[in-house]
Amino acid sequence: MRNRGILSLVAIGVLALSLSVGTVKAEGNEFELARKAIERQVEKPLPKGLVDSATLNQLQVEIKGSAKSSNKIGTVSRASSDDNYTIEEEYNDDFDSANRISFEKTTFGQLLPFGDIDVYKVVMPRSGLLLVGGVTDSYAINLGFLATQKDFVENSKLEYLGNEYEDGVEVRAYQAKAGTYYVGVFDLDNEYYIDDNTEEDLYAIGTIFIDNVKPSKPTVKKVDDNDKVVKGKAEASSTVTVKVGSKKLGSAKASSNGNYSVKIKAQKKGTILSITAKDKAGNTSSKATTTVVKH
């Protein structure tokens, strides 16, 4: 897992000087726990179709610092900025002192002194796909990183899906429920007691959130052959569509509390209506059905 690439920042020397190592503490126990956790996340290819190539390329390019991020690619949460990176702030060597990172900026850091582990906090706004990418400019760093829950707890809230390595950047993918997670970064050379890092040896970490969870199936109230409105509950702010077979009868946006009201032409008794909800990311729910009854 020796992840190396070119961090194309003219200010790389300035970054090195900006990172203070005076207050860093080496946490050997944390390193061992992180190493064992990443060993459990065995290297395996990302499932086909999980992440489109444009999204992977975006994360890889941004982490390498060779281009500014675009405002959006599909359903990816990224934002453009002239100041498109942040620098780690020590002491960030355990879960309670973790730096907060966002989906908008790449973070640069050092792994000093020997045994150092850097911990970052990332908040998933809702359930979806979490991508974590990492790269280093240094042959002194055998970069290891992973997403985990606090204290390396393992359960169904965070599921490791696989990794992708291309052009010097590794990306690790996780399916995660809404909540707070942590990214641990460490030098795998420490396992072999190799202490060769200097203040000029840097790594970069970036994250992306992708909403890939479809809305719950809508509920629908009784519809009779005089009704010209279909009502029910769906995911807040989703677009609700009513169809007969493949024919669209109407659509409307659900309110912030999930209520929807879709105008249609009155339908004959026995007609089967199908109702689906599509969220802002383009995920579509399973269809709910109802049969029109006589008034």
**Selection from 272, 283, 277 nearest residue 259 by Cα:** 277
Whether 82 shows a pLDDT value over 50: the answer reads no
**pTM of structure:** 0.80
Q: Which architecture does CATH list for 12-210?
A: Sandwich (2.60)
State whether CATH 1.10.10.10 applies to domain 219-291: no
Highest mean pLDDT range out of 61-65, 71-75, 106-110, 191-195?
Answer: 106-110
The pLDDT assigned to 83 comes to 64
Banded pLDDT at 167 (limits 50, 70, 90): confident
Banded pLDDT at 75 (limits 50, 70, 90): very low
Banded pLDDT at 200 (limits 50, 70, 90): confident
Banded pLDDT at 35 (limits 50, 70, 90): confident
Whether 243 shows a pLDDT value over 80: the answer reads yes
Q: Give all strands of the β-sheet with 143-148 in edge-to-edge order.
A: 99-100, 117-124, 179-187, 143-148
Read off the pLDDT of residues 110-157 as tens digits, 9 standing for 90 and up: 999 888 999 999 999 999 999 999 998 789 999 999 999 999 999 999
The pLDDT assigned to 28 comes to 55
Tell the residue number behind the tokens 């008034």, with chain if given.
295
For the chain, the structural domain boundaries read 12-210, 219-291
Alpha-carbon Rg for the chain, nearest whole angstrom, is 24
